[in-house]
Amino acid sequence: MKIIDIINTGKVTVSCELFPPKHGSELDAAKTIVQKTAALNPSFISVTYKSGGETVDYTISLAKEVLNAGNAASLAHLTCVASSHESVRRTLEEFRQAGIENILALRGDIPDDNPFPTLSQYHYASELIDEIRDYGGFCIGGACYPEGHPESPTVQRDIDNLKIKVDSGCQFLTTQMFFDNNVLYKFLYKLSQKGIDVPVFAGIMPVTNRKQIRRIIELSGTVLPSRFQNIIDKFGDRPAAMKQAGIAYATEQIVDLIANNVRGIHIYTMNKPDVAGQIMQNISRLIK
């Protein structure tokens, strides 16, 4: 099923994100995680894709496992920063043969040692979206950054570039994680002003350990509100308490989002179906 059709039902949708293993020996365990996550009945499950395509086979395998589980639509990520047109088309054909109908089109992380690899024939996600649109048959999603892309000089410049992605054929957007809902509400208003009216899924990260936070800030530059920083300071050295507090904070964010008519929630599960399951249980009556 295509995600745009799920969105068009008008219901609140809750989806989950998983990442594939780095090694084939871990694939069976990853498939078990898919099955446990699918048992939670999310609207769809997305599977990430490493820049350069090193995990493409595992991404496809897990995306197929989502379909086999039968409880959720499948969304495969695809990056282009180190790709040629030919390699992207080959991957699109592999997706099609696997029965995958939805793609999250991303530029991907630029390697530190080579700003744009010689092999790459893409510089922007919008170029990948053009390629997928011309290939045909897929529902195309894109990423957005409520606090601005780390490489963009301003949030407004980032929104200008986002408009290009939408005009290229992006049918829905998923946000980078954020920890202050007001950041999202202001961002959605700016999108509306720019004429960007595609559905937006709010990306929620349940932070269950202190190490996650350091990595989040390093990669995305996400700002932590003081109330969330207080939680980390208080419970960060107590793993069980931090897990419980992180789930509670994510749940509170989602309750507020749904109350303010945000129709799509995307949970960055970090391959922890138990965490996703607790959140889904906490909001089960809100999404009926």
Burial class (CB in 10 A: 0-12, 13-18, 19+), 256: middle
Strand, helix or coil for residue 99? coil
**DSSP conformation class of 54:** T
Amino acid identity of residue 121, one-letter, is: Q
d(CA 71, CA 49): 22
Burial class (CB in 10 A: 0-12, 13-18, 19+), 17: buried
The DSSP secondary structure of 147-214, one letter per residue, reads: T--TT-SSHHHHHHHHHHHHHHT--EEEEPP-S-HHHHHHHHHHHHHHT--S-EEEEE----SHHHHH
Render pLDDT for 246-259 as a digit per residue (tens, 0 to 9).
Answer: 999 999 999 999 99
Residue matched to tokens 């949970």: 267
The question of whether 17 is a catalytic residue gets the answer: yes
Strand, helix or coil for residue 125? helix
pTM of this prediction exceeds 0.75: yes
Say which range, 57-61, 111-115, 198-202, has the weakest mean pLDDT. Answer: 111-115
Q: Any bridge partners for residue 47, and if so which?
A: 18, 76
Mean pLDDT of 219-227: 83
Residue matched to tokens 């922007």: 124
Q: Which residue in the list 17, 127, 131, 147 is annotated as catalytic?
A: 17
Residue matched to tokens 């350091």: 214
d(CA 12, CA 99): 25
What structural domains and CATH numbers belong to the chain?
Answer: 3-282 (3.20.20.220)
CA distances from 153 to 124, 161, 175, 187, 254 (A): 16, 12, 18, 16, 29
The CB density around residue 214, as the number of other CB atoms within 10 Å, is 10
Predicted local confidence at residue 114, as pLDDT = 56
* Helix pair 239-259, 181-194: axis angle to 10 deg: 40
Render pLDDT for 54-108 as a digit per residue (tens, 0 to 9).
Answer: 678 999 999 999 999 988 999 999 999 888 899 999 999 999 999 999 999 999 8
End-to-end CA distance of the chain: 20
